């Protein structure tokens, strides 16, 4: 399933679908435009992600880098359970702003 990135409110985004090596590029491109317009905190809700591989984790790290470059606060909510072991294995829990 091709993922979608939807702005549900100013600064609040929801991802639906699969985040894999084959699908993250369009989401990354769209997110860059949305981040460029942001002027306040950003929350990305991952509850709608049906499947995720390590490319999804790379996307989260890139979003964090993009937010820091723009001096924006970023929070991820509802991290897919499949990514939790990877976050811990790569010691990313200390840098990724996860909530819920």
Indicate the pLDDT class of residue 100, thresholds 50, 70 and 90.
Answer: low
pLDDT in tens, 15-46: 999 999 999 999 999 999 888 888 899 999 99
pLDDT in tens, 57-91: 999 999 999 999 999 999 999 999 989 899 889 88
User: What CATH number is associated with residue 86?
Assistant: 3.30.750.24
Count of domains for the chain = 1
pTM of this prediction? 0.90
First to last CA, the chain: 24
Domain carrying residue 52: 4-99
Indicate the pLDDT class of residue 3, thresholds 50, 70 and 90.
Answer: very high
Closest CA to 43 of 66, 17, 75: 75
């Amino acid at each position: 399933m091709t993922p979608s990135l939807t702005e549900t409110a100013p600064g609040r985004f929801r991802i639906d679908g699969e985040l894999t090596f084959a699908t993250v590029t369009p989401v990354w491109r769209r997110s860059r435009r949305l981040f460029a317009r942001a002027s306040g905190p950003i929350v990305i809700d991952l509850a709608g992600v049906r499947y995720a591989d390590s490319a999804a984790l790379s996307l989260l790290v890139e979003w964090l880098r993009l937010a820091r470059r723009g001096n924006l606060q970023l929070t991820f909510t509802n991290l897919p359970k499949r990514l939790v072991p990877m976050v811990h294995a790569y010691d990313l829990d200390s840098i990724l702003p996860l909530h819920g």
